[in-house]
Structure 1
Amino acid sequence: MVIPEKLKELMSSGYQLTPETFSFLMQETDRDGIIDKILKIKPKEVILDLDTIKRIIKTDISETKLSDSEKKKQIEITEKKVIEKKIVQKSPPATIPRERKNKIDTQLEIINTPSMEVDRISVDRFHEYFVSRFKQISKIFEGRRDIKNIVNTRYLKSIDSRDEVSVIASVFSKTERSNGIFSFELEDLEGKIEAILVKKPQTIIQKAIHVLEDSILCFTGQWRRGLLYISDIFWPDIPYNKPVHYSEQDVFALFISDIHIGSRHFLKNLFMKSIKFLNSDLNSSKLNKIGEQVKYLFVAGDVVDGVGVYPNQDADLVLKNIKVQYLQASEYFEKINSDIEIIIIPGNHDAARAAEPQSPIRKEFAEELYEIDNIHLLGSPAYIKAHNVEILMSHGNSIIDINAAIRDIPNESAVPAMVEMLRNRHLVPIYGQRTPIMPDYIDQLVINRIPDIFHAGHTHLCEDSTYRNVTLISSGTFQSQTEYQKSMNINPNPGETYIINLKNLQRIGIDFKNIN
């Protein structure tokens, strides 16, 4: 298929197209005119679906008469006025950090954090991205002793039949038929084959249900006349004997996310309780004693509510300027004891690239946060070692995609999808759904390094579990239910989260709603 130059220009401008949009533009006679209009309007959406394209077609460009420089100037003037007003009204801290009795030395190492900025997206870059994903996960399988007779698709196409072969492949498509039979299109670097699963044991059926499109798995079976009859499916997964790292001393970490400062649903009272806990300033000697031993605060994204993230968000905002939202956030974080290390990654509401992997919160929107010495602003995902314990932080944008793809997983849950990420050894295993991916020559979303703790947010649900020696934490939120969340049937757990003792990885649930 020859892709027209104009369509390549659109794809190189940072936009991703759904299959329906791609087909529409390929067939549209006024394709060049439509693409010119898209590039002129510059929609906020990264993934352009057919509804977005049709809306743009109907848009009158004359509605935006101001030049880009004029618009920028107006925005800067407005921001300056709002921020100056906010600084004048800045209130003194409600809780004053005090010196700790026993200071804990910092043992913090940033192992890896994405910071790349891709200027141009091309078809070649997408190709290299998926090749990188395939090669990285294939290496994980090649070290497995329970998988034998690994061959590629080119070899299979050259023979008529063979018993017990294994193919490492990307799941190009998956279809569940009404009679319970599953069919797959499997693809590796050599080509594509058809596969079918007709066995009835429930264990195999359950495996098929959990297969995600675009994931890299190993399929074992018999090859007969151009078709692979699947007998078993293997995931790259986490080894059963995965070693666990511990701190040598009692050191605690608090895990939070989804604060949403700037929203009228932001629960300031609960968030202030978390700050008082970190400062050992609560009316509870037991919690204050633990607070004295907290050295790390991990924030898994959505520090602020942002602007224009979802339809009619403006009605939910009390701070309608994102710089002011971050200014307010800096005031809260400044109240925390300066010897507590604060690690922050972005979420989909933050001023960072929407596509995964996300670069750190942009400095031009959050200068005050960057000025606080004990704050570490990282990208998502981020690998950190704190007192010898390895932590993987990801906002968890793809949790909703995974929940929608696997019928056995309840929509209102977080940990099951996090387990699927570990099993697939990838943080965004499905491509082309709600979670956009920014392609690079190396796929930074592959879980090559197995953490001791996997921390995510996004769902506003407070859950925890352990999977093959990996501690899973889905931190709650500091935002009450919004109208948008009601429409999505999201029932949040505000003020609920976990503290972990890094000496033994013991989890302690904490509900700030129940603390005076």
Structure 2
Amino acid sequence: MINDFLDIEVLLSPSSYNRIKKISENERDNLINKIKEFKDINNKFILLDAHFLDIFLNHSLDEIKKNYGDFDFLAYYSPDANLETDNLNKFKNNTEEEIDASAKNQILEIESKSESKPEPKKEIKHQMPANIDEDKIEEILKSQSEESERLDILEKEREKRLTEIKSIRNSINKRINYISKDIEAKIKVYDEWDISGKSTCEGTIDDFVKYFRDRYIKIKAMIERKVSRKAYPLNKVYKLKKESDVFVVGIVSDVSSTKKGHKRVEIEDENTSFTVIMMKDKIASGDLPDDILLDEVVGFSGFIPDSGNVMFANECIRPDITPKKPRSIDEKIYTAFLSDIHVGSYEFLEKSFRKFIEFLNGNVNSGLEEKIASRLKYISIAGDLVDGVGIYPGQEYDLYDVDIISQYKEIATYFEQIPEHIHIIISPGNHDALRPAEPQPIFPERILKLFDGLDNITFLSNPGFANVHGLDFLLYHGRSFDDVIGQISSAKYTDPTSIMKELLKRRHLCPTYGGRCPIAPEHEDYLVIHNEPDIFHTGHIHINGHGLYKGTVMVNSGTFQEQTDFQKKMGIHPTPARIPILDLSKTGNQYIEWNNGKIEVK
């Protein structure tokens, strides 16, 4: 293909080469013919980068001739040469969003160097422009040819991987009786708690004020319901001198220690701030907590002295979930819990993931395995389908595929091999291709369209709230875990549920603002745990965990990525290729794990 463009003196940037490879042969022929006709009036070499490829694909030939008839495309690539920029501006406003970052920077640099419009030059057909170094042309041609060869190799490797993935289902000769095939999937997404299409964040002070006010109002209401009483306004507490059972609720703005070792907690409501003192002896006895976090919403009851400007706390009231028996359903069906697959990484465990897909397709070795595979109805995925691109400095050296779209094509191809009766629920994570700040909406259209044709997938935001077959699921990737670990001594990476229960206590998925977990100050706080989930599913730290907290089943799924260099430095030991599986008819008393091909009941 590259030769077809070289024959008409057109150079392709790597991004353009990739795009042209993916369009149909008919579209490619039309593009070449359009460029040939254009070169009847402009015979200069053309560097076809992302910007100019969009122009030739999306505008009529008459428009292009009119606006680019005298344009020097090679000078655009080589800023040392003169460049006529007037015509470039004619399309800029219409296509600016389509210009990739490198092309846009080149345009701005060239414009800043172009002080005046050069005199018109006489066109010489089939001859190099006089001001172009032929050695430079050869150098560019050689570089483009080498880059094209490299891209050809990468494309062949991608096609080979996809071909191998597409063979998974056909490689399984054994067929089992899928009981769950005759059971209808029942999924209701709680749209009112989904950020998708509702973002209002512009980063203004007003945004932050509305964000924290919404958090305060929602969690305050939970605390008041818990104790069946209204909180007293902080700006009127001074009137309650010598009262011994005053109840207040505020958002924590500061935590410090007095000279005698007591805790001083500053709380705020919508009108003012107030000081609460927690005596050290009550903290030591466990009557008061020693893990108050900044920005969490908390209630206190206690004594107001003569000064009226402080409270001595007797009790700390959190919005914590209500103790209950674990809920289950009547039908015996299973849900598998995945996260952190990290397709694209050299550490992605391709063989193990393939083995799991084979298991879903009936490649079983025992009656227990067949029982679970035949009744498996749902797969819940809590983020990081792919390793992504540009997530951290130097990531390109850790990737076997540096193209984000190709990474998603690969995971989509895996999902195509999963039996259609198994419904997949997907929430994104911090490695996925959308904004890193939480809450994260569902995937953008350019990613979603790669999953076209897969009717057994429901996409959620992060966090995502949904009712699955009668049970309330909360999916959260878990980015805030890194912040909680540093603030609460009992929370440990090795025990993911020790982190998860701290979030349930506070009814918030990222209590402290400004840590490693970025938060977008939306006018509504979507990170509030609005309802009390039956199943709380997280990931992120690549370590399996399972537990029960006041009737909520907690599941932290591991990963399909081997230990990374970063994890080695942090002393994190992942539990790869281990998939938690729950029997939804026995959610509270049975835990199953698919451990790299073997079923373990715990």
Q: Shorter-chain TM-score category?
A: 0.7 to 0.9
Is 1:106 aligned with 2:185?
yes
Q: Which residue of 2 aligns with 1:235?
A: 318
Q: Which residue of 1 aligns with 2:262?
A: 181
Q: Which runs of 5+ in 2 are unaligned?
A: 1-78, 80-95, 106-143
Q: Which residue of 1 aligns with 2:299?
A: 218
* Bigger mean CA offset, 337-346 vs 499-508: 499-508
Mapped contact 2:201–2:520 kept (Cα < 8 A): no
Indicate how the Cα distance of structure 1 residues 313 and 244 shifts in structure 2: closer, same or farther if over 3 A, else same.
same
Mapped contact 1:455–1:474 kept (Cα < 8 A): yes
- Partner deviation per Cα, 1:209-245 (whole Å, 9 max, x = no partner): 221111111111112222211222111101124x654
Mapped contact 2:356–2:597 kept (Cα < 8 A): no
TM (norm. structure 2) is: 0.69
Report how far residue 108 of structure 1 moved: 1.8
Is 1:91 aligned with 2:163?
yes
Mapped contact 2:345–2:401 kept (Cα < 8 A): yes
Indicate how the Cα distance of structure 1 residues 413 and 180 shifts in structure 2: closer, same or farther if over 3 A, else same.
farther
In the TM superposition, 1:433-448 aligns within 5 A as 433-448=515-530
Report how far residue 486 of structure 1 moved: 1.3
Is 1:513 aligned with 2:596?
yes
Matched AA of 1:305: D
Q: Aligned equivalents of 2:393 and 2:206: distance in 1?
A: 34
Is 1:263 aligned with 2:366?
no
Matched AA of 2:169: I
Mapped contact 1:255–1:299 kept (Cα < 8 A): yes
- Partner deviation per Cα, 1:246-282 (whole Å, 9 max, x = no partner): 3221011000111111111111122122212222213
Q: Which residue of 1 aligns with 2:580?
A: 498
Matched AA of 1:405: Q
- Partner deviation per Cα, 1:303-346 (whole Å, 9 max, x = no partner): 00111212322221111111111111111111110111011110
Q: Aligned equivalents of 1:449 and 1:302: distance in 2?
A: 25
Q: Aligned equivalents of 1:404 and 1:227: distance in 2?
A: 29
Q: Which residue of 2 aligns with 1:71?
A: 101
Q: Which residue of 2 aligns with 1:196?
A: 277
* Bigger mean CA offset, 118-127 vs 343-352: 118-127
Is 1:415 aligned with 2:415?
no
Q: 1:481 aligns with which of 542, 549, 563?
A: 563
Higher share in helix: 2
Per the alignment, in what secondary structure is the counterpart of residue 315 of structure 1?
helix
Matched AA of 1:96: R
Indicate how the Cα distance of structure 1 residues 271 and 325 shifts in structure 2: closer, same or farther if over 3 A, else same.
same
Report how far residue 130 of structure 1 moved: 0.8
Q: Aligned equivalents of 2:376 and 2:284: distance in 1?
A: 43
Per the alignment, in what secondary structure is the counterpart of residue 342 of structure 1?
strand
Q: 1:279 aligns with which of 361, 378, 388?
A: 361
Indicate how the Cα distance of structure 1 residues 498 and 194 shifts in structure 2: closer, same or farther if over 3 A, else same.
same
Mapped contact 1:404–1:411 kept (Cα < 8 A): no
Matched AA of 2:188: E
Is 1:396 aligned with 2:478?
yes
Matched AA of 1:121: G
Q: Aligned equivalents of 1:406 and 1:398: distance in 2?
A: 12
In the TM superposition, 1:47-446 aligns within 5 A as 69=99, 71=101, 85=156, 88-89=159-160, 90-92=162-164, 93-96=166-169, 100-102=177-179, 103=181, 104-112=183-191, 113-115=194-196, 116-118=198-200, 120-145=202-227, 150-158=231-239, 160-176=241-257, 179-202=260-283, 207-224=288-305, 225=307, 226-241=309-324, 244-365=326-447, 367-446=449-528
Q: Which residue of 1 aligns with 2:118?
A: none
Mapped contact 1:414–1:461 kept (Cα < 8 A): yes
- Partner deviation per Cα, 1:397-454 (whole Å, 9 max, x = no partner): 1112111111232343321111011111111111111111112222111112111100
Report how far residue 511 of structure 1 moved: 4.1
Matched AA of 2:373: G
User: Whose RCO is larger (CA < 8 A, sep 6+)?
Assistant: 1
Q: Which residue of 2 aligns with 1:16?
A: none
Report how far residue 96 of structure 1 moved: 0.8
Matched AA of 1:239: T
Higher share in strand: 1
- Partner deviation per Cα, 1:355-388 (whole Å, 9 max, x = no partner): 1111112232453224422122221111121221
Indicate how the Cα distance of structure 1 residues 73 and 293 shifts in structure 2: closer, same or farther if over 3 A, else same.
farther
* Bigger mean CA offset, 179-188 vs 471-480: 179-188
* Bigger mean CA offset, 312-321 vs 156-165: 156-165
Indicate how the Cα distance of structure 1 residues 313 and 422 shifts in structure 2: closer, same or farther if over 3 A, else same.
same
Mapped contact 2:355–2:597 kept (Cα < 8 A): no
Q: Which residue of 2 aligns with 1:27?
A: none
Mapped contact 1:218–1:233 kept (Cα < 8 A): yes
Matched AA of 1:105: E
Q: Aligned equivalents of 1:411 and 1:207: distance in 2?
A: 25
Q: Aligned equivalents of 2:495 and 2:260: distance in 1?
A: 29
Mapped contact 2:288–2:314 kept (Cα < 8 A): no
Indicate how the Cα distance of structure 1 residues 441 and 514 shifts in structure 2: closer, same or farther if over 3 A, else same.
same
Q: Aligned equivalents of 1:304 and 1:217: distance in 2?
A: 37
Indicate how the Cα distance of structure 1 residues 244 and 307 shifts in structure 2: closer, same or farther if over 3 A, else same.
same
Mapped contact 1:252–1:290 kept (Cα < 8 A): yes
Indicate how the Cα distance of structure 1 residues 478 and 163 shifts in structure 2: closer, same or farther if over 3 A, else same.
same
Mapped contact 1:357–1:445 kept (Cα < 8 A): yes
Matched AA of 2:313: I
TM (norm. structure 1) is: 0.80
Number of residues of Structure 1 aligned to a counterpart in Structure 2: 448
Q: 1:465 aligns with which of 547, 552, 561?
A: 547
Per the alignment, in what secondary structure is the counterpart of residue 256 of structure 2?
strand
Matched AA of 1:107: K
Report how far residue 459 of structure 1 moved: 0.8
Q: Aligned equivalents of 1:130 and 1:310: distance in 2?
A: 30
Mapped contact 2:483–2:515 kept (Cα < 8 A): yes
Mapped contact 2:338–2:380 kept (Cα < 8 A): yes
Per the alignment, in what secondary structure is the counterpart of residue 200 of structure 1?
helix
Matched AA of 1:415: T
Indicate how the Cα distance of structure 1 residues 177 and 294 shifts in structure 2: closer, same or farther if over 3 A, else same.
farther
Q: Aligned equivalents of 2:216 and 2:285: distance in 1?
A: 24
Indicate how the Cα distance of structure 1 residues 411 and 387 shifts in structure 2: closer, same or farther if over 3 A, else same.
closer
Report how far residue 72 of structure 1 moved: 6.1
Matched AA of 1:183: R
Per the alignment, in what secondary structure is the counterpart of residue 305 of structure 1?
coil
RMSD after superposition: 2.8
Indicate how the Cα distance of structure 1 residues 371 and 101 shifts in structure 2: closer, same or farther if over 3 A, else same.
closer
Matched AA of 1:295: K
Q: Which has the larger radius of gyration?
A: 2
Mapped contact 1:279–1:292 kept (Cα < 8 A): no
